[in-house]
Structure 1
Amino acid sequence: MTSPETPMASSTPTEPATDAVPNFAAPPRDFPIQRGCPFAPPAEYDALRNHDPVARVTLPTKKEAWVVARYDDVRELLSDPRVSADIRRPNFPALGEGEQEAGARFRPFIRTDAPEHTKYRRMLLPVFTVRRVRAMRPAVQARVDEIVDGMLAAGGPVDFVSAYANAVSTSVICELLGIPRDNLEFFRDVTRISGSRHSTAEQVAEALGGLFGLLGELIAERREEPRDDLISQLVTDHLVPGNVTMEQLLSTLGITINAGRETTTSMIALSTLLLLDKPELLAELRSDPSLMPAAVDEFLRVLSVADSIPLRVAAEDIELSGRTIPADDGVIALLAGANHDPEQFDDPQRVDFHRTDNHHVAFGYGVHQCVGQHLARLELEVALETLIRRVPTLRIEGERDEVAVKHDSATFGLEELMVTW
């Protein structure tokens, strides 16, 4: 799947909702917009969909860009071949100070276009197929049980984000790649710095440099003694034959770790907080565990933690909802806006485990749709089901309004959630 946001107070509509395109002279709003509730997008997204579905905004970098809030427009934008994800483009709508400079240097494949993006995606796809991920379930279950055992043995209160959510997501991705799990917080720290909208390019480079140093040592080991893990597979099939350089492999592994663990950590923590806030939903899952896959998809839709990850640049003029986005302008597809569009989802704020045709865009859409989505679903299903079954008395420690929320990260989530049982 990001900085202090300024609330878009001026966007609250005073006239009846209309699809009319607003005055082009209206001043750009500040973006991003802070959530008022951790389980819903900013309330201002409703005003955008109704009055200004393709809106001009000012980013923390002082650049201007467009945001797209309607479900149909988001899907159209993300599947349009005239839209570029190349972070090197001058008007790429980076939301952090150091994001674009560091991204242009390290070239994560999610910030590239075809054929370059296609090359790296094809390298990873065989590992993340439905069949391969399904075969991972016993190993994921064993690891999650181990984490619960340790948490229960240590006793509460604990920070749930660190002790469980991050432990699950980071352990699974490390095991898949073949990385030792002896310092799970190291990976969280790397993502905290590289994903922060406050970090400079130098700070991002330093954090990624530490990660790449670790990965470089493992790559050297796997050259000599391959194992049954993703690093060995990529070294043997792609690095040794010369299909990729060492720098390209490091970048691919780095973004796989950062993106894979951060979004899943956020989803496990936020989904758990939502269940603790809404005991009727918790009771429903306890009474019918078979609802868990549908519940996970509903959590993904409702929470939309990767809301503003799809950053793009229009390579040509593009028209959406009656407004033209000029060529070379930056544009952001608001996944939370799309996933809460009442034209697509009935009563979108309601958490409904029986919702049919839940075609959300929490993993993006089009050629850049998340390559690891099947693994993410598996982790969420196992993590939440095991927690509900094995820690039935889980509860928040302290005051509910003291739960620390992250507003300055590329992925929305919780900084800390103190719990006991």
Structure 2
Amino acid sequence: MECCNEASVLTVEDAQEKIVDAIEFKNKTEIVQLDIAGGRYLAEDIFAPFDTPFCDNSAMDGFGFIHDDFKRHSEFKEVGESLAGHPFRGSIKSGECIRIMTGATVPEGIDTVVMREKVTVQGKRIQVHSTPQAGQNIRLKGEDIKEGQVVLKKNKKINAADIAIMATFGMREVNVYQPVTIAIFSTGDEIISVNKTKAPGLIYDSNKPMLIHLLKASGFNILDLGIIPDDKKAIETAIKKAEDADAIITSGGVSVGDADFTTEVLKEQGDIDFWKLAIKPGKPFAFGHVGATPFFGLPGNPVSALLTCQILAIPGLLKLSGSSTIYPQWLTATLTTSLKKRPGRTDYQRGIYSINEQGQLSVASSGAQGSALLMSVCKANCLIRLPKDSEDVAEGVSVEVLPFAFIPGL
């Protein structure tokens, strides 16, 4: 991997490109039951084994007619019925019709269905209020899906609709990529778990629980290696255990100036670049490999750790997983408050967006934007991305926003 000068500053776009280019797709597959396949990535294209609908069927409860009969008849005789799962087996003659239910097979000869509310029924005599259009209320064979059609593409993340499509074709199992396992640990003598009693000088580990939730929500498995003290041997042992995973993530203790054992061990055992990024919040950031395992060293401040995980680490991990989509979709919104911004770094501020009656998006700041201020995230429902070279942004200007609804776990 091309090494970066420690004194250089990378743009977010350059960092994303370097990470994605340096990560190799895992490409290991397994067969799983359809009912547990949600959230996994397809390892092959799914082809339709038959047409859907598999036959012409009714889109309404009503009566089926031969449309040409409306030129000669104003009243029709009901001669049978077609129910879902119980099709009409007889034949239709001129002047006749059948009662038909939604989803029921349309028998040969019938080419129009009139809904029940638009006819008058007197025993077996059916009068239609007005002449319908030919083909009305009939779903044609193959109208949705044709036999042999690719219905789901390889590398797609399986969602509820995909499960329904595969169940429609009677699939019980599906070939998917194996999930990515991420080893994660925190370092520092001052860090304690939330199940320990706090003492002076100690702080609870908030980053690791936060990152675990974020990563699990994106579909990754977690190997939690706990909190590692500032001891070289302990850190070496943790790194060794982490090599069994598909990727490693840690937060804090990996910046250029940190004189701790984490940095020392990483330099000895890995090919790690300690980057300064043109991002706010978020610099510094470390990326590389320990052996063949990708390593992400996130900043220690919680907002910075959350942001760099989402913006930089997760796209690389999604590539590792086999996802066809690795970056989320940003939207455009109009600022209702001004924002402070110095040129030089891409700024990801936390905001609150809303949609007006005309469907237009507006956004305001969620408050103070410090990298250690988690409440700026808790109160927000989106990120606001301000370009690297921009300055203060005035009210009424259009900006890019990423709704938290687009980010699993937020």
Using the size of structure 2 for normalisation, the TM-score is 0.24
Larger radius of gyration: 2
Higher relative contact order (CA 8 A, sep 6+): 1
Hey, which of these two has a bigger chunk of strand by percent? 2
Query: Which has the larger helix fraction?
Result: 1
